[in-house]
Amino acid sequence: MKSEPVSKPLAVKTATAAAVHLKTIGPEEAGQRLDNFLLRWAKGVPKSHIYRIIRSGEVRVNKKRAEPTTRLIEGDVVRVPPVRIAEPAQIAAVNLAQTKSRAQGYFEKMPILFEDEALLIVNKPAGLAVHGGSGIALGVIETLRMTRPELKFLELVHRLDRDTSGVLLLAKKRSALVELHRQIREGQTDKRYYLLAHGEIVQGSAVLQLKYPLHKYLLANGERRVRVDPDGLPSHTALRVIKAMRRGDFAITLAEAQLKTGRTHQIRVHLQKLGHAILGDDKYGHEEQDKAIKSKRLYLHAHLAVFTHPRTGEKMRIESPLPAEFTAMMKNFEIASND
């Protein structure tokens, strides 16, 4: 008989006998929705099947029918009809196959800008985190380690926000990593970003020097945020306006930001403080304006990295072109008359 591919979770077989399960909710499970509880407990069972047995009344809470959104409390007894639950080894095999497939898809959307025996420099797409964690299984580093298993050492030299695209440096040798970190620490690198900001930024004849102390903090849900705070760490962004554009009541500005320091969310918070938040910024931006002009992403792109090669001593200048989404957005606007 032909075996079924492990990449299809619906086809997972198990020797676990199907039987009615009575599960008493403990303190660690209390507060969950019924559907979420079952999806975690019955790993390997299709989501559609979980919802079907809830809606059909086969799942009972304290002998009564319940909705998928029912909140469970400690001491509740949940009756689950016979379902086949995958064994841990089978779940792991399925998950690994699916993860490898996703990694290959991410890798194909991440062009290599430069590579030699010491460095791997990629053009990171927007929406892909640089590393996994906090519910993110795959980031750039995990993707590259999975798709390039021959690389025995691979580490991020620096980071980009998940929704920021562009030049991202990785080291293939520990000595290269240490040397590049030294260059960054001593201000010997040059990193520049293109951005689209809300409104028309008035620059005048000089480059705008944005210097605001920044403080990191966490929201109640654990999400990271940054704000301008007198007690924060010093930060410095040099901002050069390239052109301002207008469409009806809306204006946007294409600018280049040069990092003088590298604080978390630095450019995004500096532009917010300036009164010209970056388009598509779901943390520090203008939600209604973004909806009105149909922002599709965070319009922040790391387009240039200048540094000294850690082995050869050569001056390196790695560039990434303006993304198509920027060009498409700007086509909807005309250059402001006073530009």
What is the set of active-site residues?
A: 161
Residue 60 and residue 66 in contact, taking contact as beta carbons nearer than 8 Å: yes
Residue 62 corresponds to which tokens in the numbers above? Answer: 């304290």
Residue 100 and residue 153 in contact, taking contact as beta carbons nearer than 8 Å: no
On the CB side of 47, how many CA atoms lie within 13 Å of its CA?
A: 3
Residue 285 and residue 327 in contact, taking contact as beta carbons nearer than 8 Å: no
Q: For residues 307 and 42, what is the distance between their CA atoms, to the nearest angstrom? A: 51
Residue 201 corresponds to which tokens in the numbers above? Answer: 């930024």
**Strand partners of residue 256:** 194, 240
Q: For residues 300 and 166, what is the distance between their CA atoms, to the nearest angstrom? A: 9
Closest CA to 195 of 131, 253, 149: 253
CA distances from 338 to 204, 206, 246, 279, 335 (A): 12, 17, 11, 22, 8
CB atoms within 10 A of CB 194: 22
**Strand partners of residue 278:** 197
Residue 164 and residue 195 in contact, taking contact as beta carbons nearer than 8 Å: no
